Amino acid sequence: MPEAFIPKRPVVTAHQKMPEAFVEAEAMSAYFKERGMEAPYGSIYDEDLRKRIRHGEFDMLIVAGGDGSVLRAGHLCAPGGVPILGVNLGRIGFLIQVERQEWREYFDKLFNGEAWIESRMMLHVEHIRAGEILGSWNALNEVVVARGQLLRPVRLTASVDGRQLISYLTDGLIASTPTGSTAYALAAGGPILPPELRNILLVPIAPHLSVDRAIVLSEGANVSISNRGENAVLSVDGQPPITLLEEDHVDVCAADVTTRFVRFGDPGYFYRNLTAHMNENSLGFSR
Residue pLDDT tens, the chain, 287 long? 678 999 999 999 998 788 899 999 999 999 999 999 999 999 999 999 999 999 999 999 999 999 999 999 999 999 999 999 999 997 777 899 999 999 999 999 999 999 999 999 999 999 999 999 999 999 999 999 999 888 899 999 999 999 999 999 999 999 999 999 999 999 999 999 999 999 999 999 999 988 899 999 999 999 999 999 888 999 999 999 999 999 999 999 999 999 999 999 887 888 877 777 676 655 443 33
In this structure, CATH architecture of domain 10-114+265-286: 3-Layer(aba) Sandwich (3.40)
d(C-alpha 237, C-alpha 78), whole Å: 14
Give catalytic status of residue 171 as yes or no: no
* DSSP 8-state assignment for residue 81: T
Q: What is the CATH number of domain 122-256?
A: 2.60.200.30
- Rg of the chain (C-alpha set): 20
Going from N- to C-terminal start, the domains of the chain cover 10-114+265-286, 122-256
pTM assigned to the model:
0.92
**pLDDT for 274:** 77
93: left (phi over 0), alpha (psi -120 to 50) or beta: left
**pLDDT for 263:** 96
Q: Give yes or no for a contact between 39 and 10, defined as CB atoms under 8 angstroms apart.
A: yes
Q: Give yes or no for a contact between 92 and 140, defined as CB atoms under 8 angstroms apart.
A: no
> Comparing C-alpha atoms, which of 244, 251, 235 is closest to residue 160?
251
Q: Give yes or no for a contact between 89 and 25, defined as CB atoms under 8 angstroms apart.
A: no
Which among 67, 237, 248, 251 is annotated as catalytic?
Answer: 67
151 class by beta-carbon count within 10 Å (0-12 exposed, 13-18 middle, 19+ buried): exposed
Helix boundaries (H) for the chain: 19-34, 47-54, 67-77, 103-111, 184-187, 269-286
